[in-house]
């Protein structure tokens, strides 16, 4: 099957999920074409079955802002025609689904279906800026298929937009062969807590610093902050003010997070809200128990007290207490690390989730009446 994928190529969950999905689909024999303004994070264009098509946006004095949405639509239509794409799969509603709709209208000799995957901030953005409400609702309703990454996100979208068409929940996934425990690496050096994010305010990165200062009262430990964004500066300043800056490492953006996570003892995810919590899942696959907030789609992933802990948003002392438990109680850590790895293997491994996308692609193509639906059906069935 030939699939076009569009996502934001920046350091964020939606781009990472889209990239990993494309790589997994290529590994399963599909032909995947990424269409974006830059090479997505984690994408190696040299991977067999992977193709990258850059969207070039021209600037003219007439335009105050470059018309990316239109340039993207033109590029989508061009790639779809030239490479005979079976469908487009766009991640993040605005503006990608609108561009896909325009591309669909531009192709007149056949029906090109498109699927929109909602990741979280494409919906919460509308909650803070109502000017996006009509266009977001329109783009969702005109999509040939809609998926989202957690039950929380499905319910929120239905309630907020009044969507009547079904939204398919397909959870985030992790490559359990790539993300795996490394006990030998974990034993080297001090106890380590990891935080991974894009350092936006919703991630509450300063809570990581405050909680770590409390943890340091009980155990010698190091805090590793991976990622970058607007709140990195305030986090660095707070670490200095609390006198723990020599024990906090800011690594910036990391391309191979699968090499970093297995060396950690716990993950801290204190977000205001999370559509799912991909960083927590990747940590769990590596046998690194997460301490997260009971917010958004996180309960879809973590079973409190079994494979991780969940505390309330802003409860820094409660979160710090759980982190200290994991760093000081070796039996608890071993039990929870094993359970976390088992959750990843039994519920969220690529072998379980990617076939759900393949089946949905087949369903959407057949419902859209595309001429190659029988080919798609046979391909997925392996015949």
For 210-231, write each residue's pLDDT tens digit: 999 999 999 999 999 999 999 9
**Which strand ranges, in their side-by-side order, compose the sheet holding 31-36?**
50-54, 31-36, 2-6, 87-91, 114-118, 145-148, 168-169
Position 257 scores a pLDDT of 92
Residues 225 and 325 in one domain: yes
Average pLDDT over residues 168-179: 96
Look up the CATH number of the domain holding residue 132. 3.40.50.2000
**Residue 165 has what pLDDT?**
82
The verdict on 286 and 323 lying in the same domain is yes
Say yes or no to pLDDT of 322 above 60: yes
Residue 178 domain flag:
no
pLDDT tens per residue, range 99-118? 999 999 999 999 999 999 99
CA distance 99 to 282: 31
* pLDDT band, residue 370 (cuts 50/70/90): low
Are residue 235 and residue 326 in the same domain, yes or no?
A: yes
d(CA 131, CA 121): 15
Same domain (yes/no): 228, 312 = yes
Domain that residue 108 falls in: 2-173+350-381
Residue, of 11 and 159, whose pLDDT is higher: 159
Number of structural domains the chain divides into: 2
Q: Do 132 and 280 fall within a single domain?
A: no
Q: Is the pLDDT of residue 66 over 90?
A: no
Q: Say yes or no: 201 and 57 in one domain.
A: no
Is 194 among the domain residues? yes
- Residues 220 and 322 both lie in one domain: yes
Q: Residue 68 and residue 262: Cα distance in Å, rounded?
A: 39
The 3-state secondary structure of 212-269, one letter per residue: HHHHCCCCCEEEEEEECCCCHHHHHHHHHHCCCHHHEEEEECCCCHHHHHHHCCEEEE
Residue 67 placed within a domain = yes
pLDDT confidence band for 152 (50 / 70 / 90): very high
| Residue 310 falls inside a structural domain | yes
Q: Phi, psi at residue 255, to the nearest 5°?
A: -80, -25
Same domain, 311 and 375: no
Quick one: pLDDT band at residue 382, thresholds 50, 70, 90? very low
Domain presence at residue 304: yes
Q: Tell me, yes or no, whether 281 and 363 share the same domain.
A: no
Same domain for 343 and 373, yes or no, is: no
User: What is the distance between the alpha carbons of residues 265 and 192, in angstroms, rounded to a whole number?
Assistant: 5
The reply to whether 368 falls in a domain is yes
The pLDDT, as a whole number, for residue 126 is 65
What is the tens place of the pLDDT at every residue in 275-307? 999 999 999 999 999 999 999 999 999 999 999
Q: Is the model more confident about 99 or about 378?
A: 99
Question: Does 376 share its domain with 336?
Answer: no
Residues 242 and 373 in one domain: no
Rounded Cα–Cα distance for residues 193 and 200 (Å): 19
Separation between Cα atoms, residue 13 and residue 150, nearest integer Å: 13
- 292 in a domain, yes or no? yes
CA count, 13 A, side-chain hemisphere, 382: 2
């Amino acid at each position: 099957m030939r699939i076009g994928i569009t996502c934001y190529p920046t350091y964020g969950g939606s781009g990472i999920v889209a990239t990993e999905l494309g790589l997994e689909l290529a590994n399963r024999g599909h032909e995947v074409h990424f269409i974006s303004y830059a090479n997505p994070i984690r994408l190696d264009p040299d991977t067999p079955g992977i193709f990258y098509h850059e969207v070039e946006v021209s600037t003219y004095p007439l335009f105050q802002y470059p018309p990316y949405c239109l340039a993207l639509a033109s590029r989508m239509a061009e790639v779809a025609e030239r490479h005979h794409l079976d469908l487009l799969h766009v991640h993040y509603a605005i503006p990608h689904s609108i561009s896909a709709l325009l591309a669909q209208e531009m192709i007149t000799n056949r029906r090109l279906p498109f699927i929109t995957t909602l990741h979280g901030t494409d919906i919460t953005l509308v909650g803070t800026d109502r000017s996006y409400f009509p266009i977001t609702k329109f783009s969702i309703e005109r999509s040939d298929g809609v998926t989202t990454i957690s039950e929380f996100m499905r319910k929120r979208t239905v309630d907020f937009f009044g969507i009547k068409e079904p939204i398919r929940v397909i959870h985030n996934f992790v490559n359990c062969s790539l993300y795996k425990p490394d006990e030998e690496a974990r034993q080297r050096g001090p106890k380590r807590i990891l935080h991974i994010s894009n350092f936006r305010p919703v991630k509450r990165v300063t809570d990581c610093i405050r909680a770590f200062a409390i943890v340091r009262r009980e155990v010698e430990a190091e805090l590793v902050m991976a990622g970058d964004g607007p709140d990195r500066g305030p986090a660095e300043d707070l670490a200095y003010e609390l006198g723990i800056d020599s024990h906090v490492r800011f690594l910036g953006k990391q391309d191979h997070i699968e090499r970093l996570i297995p060396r950690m003892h716990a993950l801290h995810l204190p977000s205001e809200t999370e559509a799912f919590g991909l960083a927590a899942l990747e940590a769990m696959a590596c046998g690194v128990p997460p301490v997260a907030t009971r917010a958004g789609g996180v309960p879809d992933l973590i079973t409190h007290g079994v494979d991780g802990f969940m505390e309330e948003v802003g409860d820094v002392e409660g979160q710090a207490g759980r982190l200290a438990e994991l760093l000081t109680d070796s039996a608890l850590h071993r039990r929870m690390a094993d359970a976390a790895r088992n959750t990843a293997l039994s519920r969220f491994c690529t072998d379980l989730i990617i076939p759900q996308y393949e089946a949905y692609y087949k369903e959407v193509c057949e419902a859209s009446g595309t001429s190659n639906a029988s080919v798609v059906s046979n391909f997925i069935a392996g015949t």
